[in-house]
Amino acid sequence: MVQTTDTQRVETLVGRLFESGVGSLELLTVYMGDKLGLYAELADVDDMSSAELAKAAGIDERYAREWLVQQAIAGFLDIAADDPDDRERRYSLPEEFTEVFLDPHSLAHMAPMPGFLVSFASVVPRLLDAYRNGDGISYADYGLVMRDSQGAFNRPHHEQFLSDWISALPDVRPSSSRAAR
């Protein structure tokens, strides 16, 4: 029996997995930028060099520079003033991205998303064992990063829609009538 390969399907899958890998790594850099306060520092000024960001955030200048370059390549930051010397280059957080990275009340807030990846990755060895032996992994085993990420991700939806969701449930009375009981 001769098998033929649908090269288009293979190439599509390879492309999808490659993009997913790049996206996963980008999520990890967003996680670092969020947890280290790098986006917050950039939001407070027009633009910054790597040395200025390092000083403001209390991190090493080399890592600040590498993070800034990666974020600009990913399209998350703008290069405000280009310079062949990457130590002199200046970066800015586009104003329209501020709510994505920094506004915990916005439906566009995606800073919590990378925490799911960080948390899930922390239990992968145990998950492999669970698949082999049938044991389970409790939600608590995913740790505080999962809990905090889930809460932060759900927050804007709950703030903006929870009362509508609850009032749409059958046999649910408004909270004012419950308080009167």
pLDDT tens sequence across 150-174: 999 999 999 989 888 888 888 766 6
Classify residue 73 by burial, with Cβ atoms within 10 Å: 0-12, 13-18, 19+: exposed
- When pLDDT is averaged across residues 25-50 and rounded to a whole number, the result is 97
Domain ranges in the chain?
10-94, 103-162
Tell me what pLDDT residue 37 has. 98
Q: Supply the pTM of this predicted model.
A: 0.85
For residue 65, which amino acid is it?
Answer: R
Contacts of 109 (CB under 8 A, 6+ apart): 99, 100, 101, 102, 103, 152, 153, 155, 156
- Beta-carbon count within 10 A of 23 CB: 12
Fold topology of 10-94: Arc Repressor Mutant, subunit A (1.10.10)
Mean pLDDT across the stretch 71-98?
Answer: 95
